[in-house]
Structure 1
Amino acid sequence: MSSFSTLVAVVTGGGSGIGAAVAAEFRARGARVGVLDLDPGEPADGLLPVIADVTHRGSLQSAMTTVADTFGGIDILVNSAGIGAIGPVEGNDDDEWHRVLDVNVVGIARATSAALPFLRRSEHGAIVNLSSIAATAGLVQRALYSASKGAVHSLTLAMAADLVSEGIRVNCLAPGTVDTPWVQRLLARTDDPEGERTRLAARQPTGRLVSAAEVAAAAAYLASPEAGATTGMSLAVDGGMSGLRLPRK
C-alpha cells in the first residue's frame, strides 16, 4: 500500500483501543494524525493529541480546526469513538439508551459535520466509521449496542450516497470481538473471566479474538487512495464470524 506521507488523518477515540491502533498504523505509514479523545495521550512527531468530546459539537469543531491549522488540512476521518452496553432490550434504562446512541451514532454525525469543511478541500477525502458484527448478527445480551451499530451501518450508506458526488468516500468496518482494554474490563466483571474469554474466542471461526492491529490495517486499506473505487461498503474483520458456518465439533 502506498505511503500516507501526504495525508492528514483524524481519529476520534484515538487515545486507546482500536482508535489508538488506527492512529499508530496511519502514523507508521507516514500520515500526520490528530488524535481526538477525552484523554488523547502525549504528542509525538506527526501525532497531535487534542482533547475533544464527541457529545459536544463545539468541542469537535474546535478540535478539527486545530488539526487542520497545524497540519494544513484533513484528508481522512476515522470515527472510532464508541462505548459498549450489555443486556437484553429491557436491560438498560432510557438514560443509558440515550447515552450510548449519543456517543456511538450522533457522535459520528457531529464529528463528520465538523470535519466536512476540510474533507471537501482534499483530493483524497475518506471517512471510515467503526461499526461491528453486532450490526448484522443477533448477539445475546447486546440489544442496545447492536442497535447503535446497526444505525452506524445505515448511516454509513446514507453518508456515502450523499458525499460520493463530492469525491468523499465513506465506508465502515465491522469487527468481531476485538482484544481491547474494554473487552478485558468486561471479562473482569464476569464470574469466570478465563472461561468467558474462551467462549468469546470460540465464537469466531478462527478460534481467537481479533487484534486491534488487524482492524487498524483494514482501516488503512479503506482510507487509502488506492481504495478509490470502494465506497458505501462494510468490511468485516471478524475471524469469519459473519460468513462462515462451520459444523459443530
Structure 2
Amino acid sequence: MNDESPDIKTSSIPDGASPDAPPAKPAVKKRRSKASVAKAEAAAIEARVGYTFGDPALLTTALTHVSALKTARRRGDSYQRLEFLGDHVLGLIVSDMLYRTYPKANEGELSKRLADLVRKETCADVAKSLGLLEGIKLGQVGATADARLRTSVIGDICEAVIGAIFLDGGYPAAEQFVQRNWEERMRTLKRPSRDPKTVLQEWAQGRGLPSPVYREVERTGPHHDPVFRIAVDVPGLAPAEGVGSNKRAAEKLAASAMIAREGVK
C-alpha cells in the first residue's frame, strides 16, 4: 500500500475569500462624464486665454452660438449680450494703449488705428490664434466652427470672451488680456494712409483755393445695390470723378483721381 499522499493543486483563491465565491471581475474603467469632459475643455481654453474664471458659466455663455440654444427666446444665454459689453471694453482699452503709445499722433490718426485694431477681422484673428473656435458650441454637428461661421461672428465671440473676463475679473483682467493679444499688432501696424479728401482740401487751401465741392453725377443700379458716380470740383481745375457703391467711397475715389492728376504728394 502506498502511503504517499496524492498531488494537490494549489488554488488561486485570495486569502480570506470563500472557495465557493464567484471569481472577481476585472476592473472596468469608468467613462468620463459629460461634466468632467466639459470642465477639461474649459480648462484648456482658459490656459490658452491666460485667465481662469471664477464663474465658468460666463465663459460657456461667451462661446455659445445662438443656434445651440433650445429656444430662440433665450438669446441672452448666447454670446450676443457679452459681445455688446466686450466691444466697448476692447475699444476703451485699445484707445488707452494708442493714446499712450503714440503721444504725437492726432485724433484722426488715432481713430484710424483704433478702427483697424478693433475691426471684426482683427478680433477673429485673435480668436483663431487662441484656439477659441474649438470651444464654440453650435447647434449642428459635422462641421468645424471655422468652416461654418462668418468672420464677423468669430470676431463677435472674441469680444464676448473679453466681456466675460471683464465681468469676472474686472477691468485689470480684461486689460491684461487685451494687452497680451493686441500690443504687438498695435506696434507693427503701419501708419494709416491719410484720407484723400483731407489731403485734397489741405492742398487746395494751401494754394489759396476754395474747398473742394462734391456733386452726384449719376446713380445707377437697383435701389438695394446702387452705384454712385461723384465729381469733385475745385475752381480753376478740371473736375475729377470716382465711382463707388456709396457716396463716401465715390468721393474718396474722385479726390484720389484729382490728387494723382495734379501730382499732389
Do both proteins adopt the same fold according to a TM-score greater than 0.5, normalized to the shorter chain? no
Higher relative contact order (CA 8 A, sep 6+): 1
**Larger relative strand fraction:** 1
Of the two, which has the highest radius of gyration?
Answer: 2
**Larger relative helix fraction:** 2
